[in-house]
Structure 1
Amino acid sequence: MRAFAELLDRLSLTASRNAKLVLVRDYLRTAPDPDRGWALAALTGDLTFHAAKPAMIRQAVESRVDPVLFGWSYDYVGDLAETVALIWPASETRPNREPELSEVVEALRAAGRGEVRGLIEGWLDALEPRGRWALLKLMTGALRVGLSARLAKTAAAMVRPAHVIEPPDPHRHEATRSLEPIDVSEIEEIWHALEAPYADLFAWLEGRGERPSTNAPGRFRPVMLAVALDEAVDFERLAPTDYAAEWKWDGIRVQAVREAGVERLYSRTGDEISAAFPDVMAALRFEGAIDGELVILKNGEVAPFAELQTRLNRKVADPRLMSASPAGIIAYDLLALEGEDLRGRPLAERRTALERLVAAHPGDRLKLSPVVDYGDWEELARLRADPPVGAAAEGLMLKRWDSTYVAGRPKGPWFKWKRDPHVIDAVLMYAQRGHGKRSSFYSDYTFGVWTEDGALTPVGKAYFGFTDAELKQLDKFVRDHTVERFGPVRSIRAERDFGLVLEIAFEGLQRSPRHKSGVAMRFPRVSRIRWDKPAREANTLDDVLDLLDAIERGGGRIAGAA
């Protein structure tokens, strides 16, 4: 457990992507099996403990520490694992051995709900503060060390050594066998056929075994991603006739797979979400793998993203919600068909096959993403600014007709050209401490706009979009101008003649009866700090509602679809 704790600690304090890769690679090279496999599962988010809940951690610490003192400490620190790790009292009968990572994982996977608290207390007694912190991060799954699942898999690909030493052979002069480097896409290709703690994966990486099979029915194919279009540079070197244009639909990227009786729906990161969308899976009737966008479809129209959001992150589908918000897929690409892998074929060929498949598909849960007809970049820019599909499109995608389907984000074949974000000026109202590296800063900001009676009403919350230097300035402003405290939340002085204006960029608006203002923003972020602007000149709620009306009037019909 000590080596895993040191890894998490160093990752949390390291900003460099390359440095993080080296840290994880070195750990995976030196840690024993099965510890390194369980660590990789934790880093990729594939390790969960159904019987262990954060509430059990709170119960355990409140049995050893005054609950009021713990509450105050938690409000100040802002992170449950860090607070418990620091405040947990030393045991007079501390065990003489710290638990191993594999010991912890295997015990938690086998434990019933009634046994977990006792395990937690025993381990916390045995560990030092850093080990306690790592233990609790592991249990809750909230590692927060700035490492994505793909980056962890990239580090695993780097485990392969330059050479594998073989026993000396008197008939051969060479003493080593060279191994080809492994790209992360090769690991992603087989990931869903693997099971933690990944003994077969490490055997292959180290040259001790064969590559795990990629032929598992229903497997996830690593997705191809687009790079952002730079209008000033890219249009000078690209030819419109080389690129197909499609709308960038406002849903979530998915991969629908039906092979040899295995039916699965994956998110773009490879997480299976089939259980949340059984209505979609039950309606599909093809044999292969489709890349597309999951949306709510009503009478041939794409509903606002807010409707889809009500169905996301659910472990079990709600029949009433499925009936009110039927989901469907807008198909972009065809990756496999009837046992044949199509990814190596040009887009033009894959598109033709996809058109035939969708045309013959029964029902209304699978739609074809139409190709946008345009003559030159100027015409396409006009369509992007005022799309005929309205708010259903976030922008445009440009894809070379001759491009093969390559995992990752290659430069050149695919571009995304998103619509310009909406922007308003709002006033900072409340602030709260962040988590992890930001736990010492007030970095989560609630902002509001003016109502008719001259009061502020909250319309959103943002916690990114600013630099580290700006974060320090914002944190100082919060501390200097706090007027009230509500637990971990600080109320900031905000009046007509005094207040901090934040320019907020966001992707969309939707009506929300849960919010006092009646609206909710999609993907809000701080685009500028308006130190120069008086608070009274910030936007009003009427401005926001007028924008919402304009967005809704835009409609959401799929051009060319029934």
Structure 2
Amino acid sequence: MNRFAELLDRLAYEPGRNNKLRLITGYFREVGDPDRGYALAALTGALSFKHAKPGLIRDLIAARADPVLFGLSYDYVGDLSETVALMWPKAALAAHNNPPPPTLTEVVTTLRTLGKTEMPAQLARWLDELDETGRWALLKLVTGAMRIGISARLAKTAAAALGDKDPHDIELIWPGLSPPYLDLFAWLEGRGEKPVNRDPAPFRPVMLAHAIEEGDFAALDPADYIAEWKWDGIRVQAVAGRDDRGHITARLYSRTGEDITGSFPDLVPSLHLPGAIDGELLILREGRVQSFNVLQQRLNRKVVSPKLIKEFPIHLRAYDLLGDDEDDLRELPFAERRERLETFVAKLDDARIDLSPTVPFASWDALTAARANPASAGAGEDADAIEGVMLKRRDAPYLPGRPKGQWWKWKRDPHIIDAVLMYAQRGHGKRSSYYSDYTFGVWTETENGEELVPVGKAYFGFTDEELLQIDRFVRRNTTEKFGPVRHVVHEGDKGLVLEVAFEGLQRSPRHKSGVAMRFPRISRLRWDKPPREADRLETLERMLKAEPEEIEI
């Protein structure tokens, strides 16, 4: 465990990507099985422990430290694992027979088998045995909240470097692997064959797009690309395959590989042919795509009732085909995969699955016009459910990750309003020392006169320099404190106006304002503007188009 803790500690303070790769690859080279496999699982987010929750950790420290002191310390540090690691009282050690620190393998295997009642005592024993860095790493592992600047892709790339392999090869076999990845490391070190995924309906790592900028178009030829609508749903992978008995196994995966089949049982019968579709999950009513707000009524449901299925009929809009029967199509050019997709969807012949239409264009000007007005470019009544357009190279294979120049996303211009900063809270990880989470509001007339009502919360969009400026403003203009939250001055002539960009609005009875924003971010600081000139709730109401009435479930 100490060696893993040292790795996490060094990664947390190493800004350079190449240096991080060297650190991780060095760890894999120096540390044996199965510890290194569990380390890879931790870095890729492949570990979870049923009974290890943040609340348990808070209870443990509450029994050993003054709760007020802990609250103040947590507010300042901003990270639960780091705060507890720093405050955990040093255990009195016996003169002899002190147990050695636990290994990473011991920790993982024990956490997987411990019951809920046994977990607190075992965690406390480990925290007593480890030093400050070890405690921090243990708690990071337990909570799954690493926040050390390491992506799953980077960790897999480091593993690939161990055996001079292409990271793409690891991505392709990854869904069929499980910790501690003994067969993977055996292959990487030349001691075994390449692992084979024997799951009849496996997840394939998704291909992602880069956001296109104005300056990118000059280097691109419209003839090289196919355009599609970018739908405002959730991306899924619908996979079906034959098991050893020849029966069809069908699964639905989220874009991160989570099996969400149980939440959408009504779509499973539609997947009656072997294949792997990349597409968008939507709600269709009378042939019309509904808003994301409506789709949310079907998301994250543990119980799916017949009424829910009837009132919120799920639909799959397909835009790529990754596999067809026994064939892996990912190496084929996109144009060819698209043709195969059209044939495959026709064979499925199911009303719940259709094709995402392409957007014809001969020039970037023509595509600009289509993006600005989807209704006139063939989207018709579905125009309100379109976020923008996707550009895909005709000759692009389906590559995991975000390869440059293959796929581009071009969202419609965001909505912009001026709002007033009302509350601020410290961030997490590298931002734990700064007030970086902001709640903002707009003006409305109440029985008490003009008041600000919160309409959103944002924690990105600003530069590092702007973060320092806002943090300084918050510290100098705090009027009240509510635990970790700072109430910031927001009056007609005193306060900070934020220009907020967002993708859309939806009605929300849970918010005092009655509206909620989608993907809000801070686009500019309006130091020049007095708060009284910020936008009004009525402005948002005018922007908010009528949505179908939500149904009580």
Q: What TM-score do you get using the length of structure 1 for normalisation?
A: 0.90
Instruction: Give the corresponding residue for 2:378.
Output: none
Pairwise CA distance, 1:145: 1.1
Give, as a single letter, the amino acid of the residue that structure 2 aligns with 1:286.
L
Partner of 1:143: 146
Shift of 1:322: 4.0
Q: Deviations over 1:530-556 (max 9, x none)?
A: 11111111111111111112x869xxx
The CA deviation string for residues 334-358 of structure 1, in whole angstroms up to 9 with x for no partner, is: 1111111222333333222222222
- Do the aligned residues in 2 keep the contact of 1:348 with 1:402 (CA within 8 Å)? yes
Give secondary structure in 2 for the equivalent of 1:131: helix
2:270 corresponds to 1:283: yes
- Mapping of 1:173-184 within 5 angstroms? 181-184=164-167
8 Å contact kept, 2:234–2:282: yes
Preserved contact between residue 224 and residue 405 of structure 1 (Cα < 8 Å): yes
Output the amino acid matched with 2:4. Answer: F
Determine if contact 2:477/2:488 at 8 Å carries over to the other structure. yes
SS of aligned partner of 1:454: strand
State which of 112, 125, 131 in structure 2 corresponds to 1:109. 112
Match for 1:532 among 504, 528, 532? 528
Map 1:452-467 to 2 at 5 A. 452=445, 453-467=449-463
Aligned position for 2:180: 197
Distance 2:303 2:117 in 1: 24
User: What is the alpha-carbon distance in structure 1 between the residues aligned to residue 122 and residue 306 of structure 2?
Assistant: 38
Q: Conserved in 1, the CA contact under 8 Å of 2:505 and 2:517?
A: yes
Query: One-letter code of the match for 2:59?
Result: Q
Residue 239 of structure 1 deviates from its aligned partner by 3.9
Q: Which moved more, 1:218-227 or 1:489-498?
A: 218-227
2:284 aligned with 1:297: yes
Q: TM-score, normalised by structure 2?
A: 0.91
Q: CA shift at 1:232, angstroms?
A: 4.0
Paired with 1:145 and 1:319, the residues of 2 have a C-alpha distance of: 43
SS at 1:451 equivalent: strand
1:417 paired residue among 410, 413, 434: 410
| Contact 2:175–2:197, Cα closer than 8 Å, also in 1 | no
Partner of 2:5: 5
Are residues 1:519 and 2:515 paired? yes
- 1:430–1:15: structure 2 CA closer, same or farther, 3 Å change rule? same
Amino acid at match of 2:533: E
How far off its partner does 1:313 sit?
4.4
Q: How does 1:241-280 map to 2 (within 5 A)?
A: 241-260=223-242, 261-280=248-267
Provide closer, same or farther for how the CA distance between residues 339 and 457 of structure 1 changes in structure 2, counting only shifts above 3 A: same
1:71 and 2:64 matched: no
SS in 2 for 1:279: coil
Residues in 2 aligned to 1:275 and 1:458: alpha-carbon distance in whole angstroms:
36
Distance 1:207 1:481, change over 3 A: same
Q: How does 1:256-405 map to 2 (within 5 A)?
A: 256-260=238-242, 261-313=248-300, 317=304, 321-388=308-375, 389-405=382-398
Contact 1:240 1:375 (C-alpha < 8 Å) held by counterparts: yes
Unaligned runs of 5+ in 2: 243-247, 376-381, 549-553
Give the Cα–Cα distance (whole angstroms) in 2 for the partners of residues 144 and 401 of structure 1.
37
The answer as to whether partners of 2:38 and 2:108 remain within 8 angstroms in 1 is: yes
Q: CA deviation at 1:233?
A: 4.0
What are the within-5 Å matches in structure 2 for residues 124-139 of structure 1? Answer: 124-139=127-142
Q: Taking structure 1 as reference, are residues 377 and 496 closer, same or farther at Cα in structure 2, changes over 3 Å only?
A: same
Structure 1 residue 527 displacement after superposition: 0.9
Specify the alignment match of 1:176 in structure 2.
Answer: none
Distance 1:143 1:320, change over 3 A: farther
Partners in 1 of 2:64 and 2:198 — Cα distance?
Answer: 52
C-alpha change, 1:409 and 1:440, in structure 2 (3 Å) is closer
Partner amino acid, structure 2, of 1:185: H
List aligned pairs for 1:494-513, cutoff 5 A: 494-513=490-509
Whole-Å separation in 2 of the counterparts to 1:391 and 1:472: 38
More displaced stretch, 264-273 vs 123-132: 264-273
Residues 269 and 17 of structure 1: CA distance in aligned 2, closer, same or farther (over 3 Å): farther
Q: Note the C-alpha offset of 1:123.
A: 0.6
Amino acid at match of 1:20: K
Partner of 1:33: 33
Verify the 8 A CA contact 1:185 1:222 in the aligned structure 2: no
- Helix, strand or coil for the counterpart of 1:32? coil
Find the counterpart in structure 1 of residue 45 from structure 2: 45
Structure 1 residue ranges without an equivalent (≥5): 161-180, 554-562
The alpha-carbon distance between structure 1 residues 322 and 67, as it changes in their structure 2 partners (threshold 3 A), is farther
2:121 partner amino acid: G
128, 143, 158: which one aligns with 2:161:
158
C-alpha spacing 1:552/1:16, structure 2 compared with 1 (3 Å): farther
Matched, 1:217 2:200: yes
Q: Distance in 1 between matches of 2:476 and 2:168?
A: 49
Q: Indicate if the aligned counterparts of 2:414 and 2:501 stay in contact, CA closer than 8 A.
A: yes
Query: What is the number of equivalent residue pairs in this alignment?
Result: 531
Give the SS at the match of 1:65. Answer: coil
